[in-house]
Structure 1
Amino acid sequence: MLRTLHPRALIVLFAIGIALPGLAVAQKPAGANIDAGGYRVFTAVSGSGSPTVVFVAGLGEDSSTWDKVAPEVAKFSRTFVYDRAGLGKSQDAPGPKDMDQMLNELHTVLRNSGLKPPYVLVGHSLGGAIVEIYAHRYADEIAGLVLVDPEDGRLLELLHAHLDKADWDARQQMLEKMMAAASPAQKAELEASKESGKLVENSLPLPAVPTVLLTGTLKDPGFPGNPMEQDLKMQLHKELLAQSPEIKQVLAPNSRHYVQEDAPELVIQAIRHVADQTRTGSPKRNPAVMTKEKPQA
C-alpha cells in the first residue's frame, strides 16, 4: 500500500509505509541492546504481567510503527518491541538478510531478553508472515497470535498473474521511484519477502491458540493495481481462515494496510481479547464476538 503522509518513507511488503507519531506514553519503555548472534538489536520493554506481547513490524519498518498500540497494551500486559537488523537503532547483521535470519534473530533476541514464554505475537504485513512461520517452528512458545493485515510473497505472485501489463508496469515504475530512498536493510527485506509465501504455506494450519486476524478493506484507486491487490489479499486471508477455522477475522472498514495506525483501537482490542483468554485458561479458541470498526458517515 502507498503511504505519503511523512517524509520518512519505509518500504512495506510491496510499496512504501510511514510510521506516524505515536500517542503519549504513560510509562517510558526500558530500552536495551541485546545480542542477536554477533550483532546487537535494539529492544524496549514496558508494562508488567503476563503474557508478554511481542510486536513484529512490517517490511522495512522499525518499532515505531507500533507507537499508537504498544503504549496502550502496556497498561494491561508486558510489551516487547524491537528493531530488526539494520533498521531503527539496531546494528546490521553480518550475514545475508533472509527469512531464516529474521526468524532466528527474533528467537535469539527473545531468549537473550530473559522474558519467558509463552508469548502473544503481534505481526503486521511481512511481520505477520514472520509470526505465522515462528508460531509453526516454536509452537510451544506461543500463547496467542494477532495478525495485522498479514502479507507474504504469494500476494505479489498473484497480483502479477492478474494485472494486465500496463497496470503492472505502472506499478513497478512507481515502486522503483520510491525504493530509491530505501536503505540497504529495507531493500534486503524486500528481496527476502519474495520467499516468504512458500514458508507461510508450509506453516499452516496455525497452532490452536487464540488468534485474531485483522484485515484492512479500504482500496486506493490512485495506486496502480491496488483495488485488485486488496481483493487478492482478502482471498489469501479467506484461505488462511479455511485452514485454521478457529481464527476470528475482524474487518477494518476504515483502514487499508496500516490498521495499527488507521484504527489502533481494533488492534488493542484484539490483543486484549487474546491476552485475556491466555490468563483465564479459556479453551484454545478465538473470541466469539469482536466489535468491528464502524464505517464513517
Structure 2
Amino acid sequence: MTTPLSSPPLRSDPHDTKAPGGEEQAQHSAELAALHRAADAGEAAAAWVRELAGRQSKEDHARALERVADAVVRVSGREIVPGSDGLLTEELRYTLAADAVLGASHTTGTLPELHDGERMPLAAVCAIAAALPSCVLGDLAAELTALTGDLATATEAGRTATAAGTARACPARRPRTLGADHADPLDRLAYRRVFDRAAEAFEIALHYQGDDGELARAQALHNALAAAGLGIAAAALLRVADDPALGLDPDQWEHLHRIAAELNVRVVEDLGGANGDGTTAPTRPRPA
C-alpha cells in the first residue's frame, strides 16, 4: 500500500551533494512535469464530479459522489509516488469502483441522478484515475502522460453530456428576430444599422433607375434586401449560438460567432456592445 504524502517526492534532494547527470536530470524533469499534469487533470475531473454531487436530491448520493471527487484528487496527486508499489488502498479502490456509478444505492435503493451520457464518462474518469498510481512501475513520464490525456478526454466528454442534459431541461423560448426586442438598446442599435443600410441601398437604386416604374421599385427592393440580408443572418446566428437549449460547447459557440462576424462584423459588434450602449444612433452615410 502506498503511504499518502503531501506531495510527490523528488528523485534528487536539494541537500544532496551528489548532483544528478544530464540524462537523469532530464528524466526527473519529465516525470515532475507529468506529475503536475496528472494533478491538474485530476482536479478538473474532480470539479466535474462535484457538479454531479451538487445536483443530487438525495444527500447520500451527494456524499458518495463527493467521496469520489476527493478520491480522484488523491489518486492523481499524492498517491503517485515514484519508487512505491503503485497499489491503492482498499478504501480508494472501492470508492472509485462502486461509489462512482452506484452512489449510495445500498441505502437509498436508487442510483445517482445522472443525465443521459454522464454515467460512462464518470466510470471512465474513475477507472483511469485509479490506474494513475501504477505508472510508477513502468515508464512513469510516458505512461502518466498518456493516461492524463485520457482522463482529460473523459472529463470533457462528461462535461459535454452535462451541458447537453442541462440544455434539454431548459424551457422552450420564442425565437427573437432582429428588431423584435425594442426594449434592448443593443438590439435597436443593430436594427438601425441594418435598416439604414437597406434604406440607403433602396434610395441609390431608385436614383439610378431614372423612373418610378414597377421595375425600378423591384430593383430597389432587391438591393435593399441584399443589403440587409447579411446583417439579419449574422444576428440570427448569434441568437442561435447564445440559446442555452442547444448546449453548445465553447468551440461550437465560437464557430457560429466567427461565421456571424464574417457575414456582418458591425452587427456583431453592435449586439455585443462594442459600438456603444445603443443609446445613440449610428451616423447614417448619405449617398454621394
Question: TM-score, structure 1 length as denominator?
Answer: 0.24
Larger Rg: 2
TM-score computed with the length of structure 2 as normaliser: 0.24
Q: Going by fraction, where is helix more abundant, 1 or 2?
A: 2
Q: Does 1 or 2 have the higher relative contact order (CA < 8 Å, sep 6+)?
A: 1
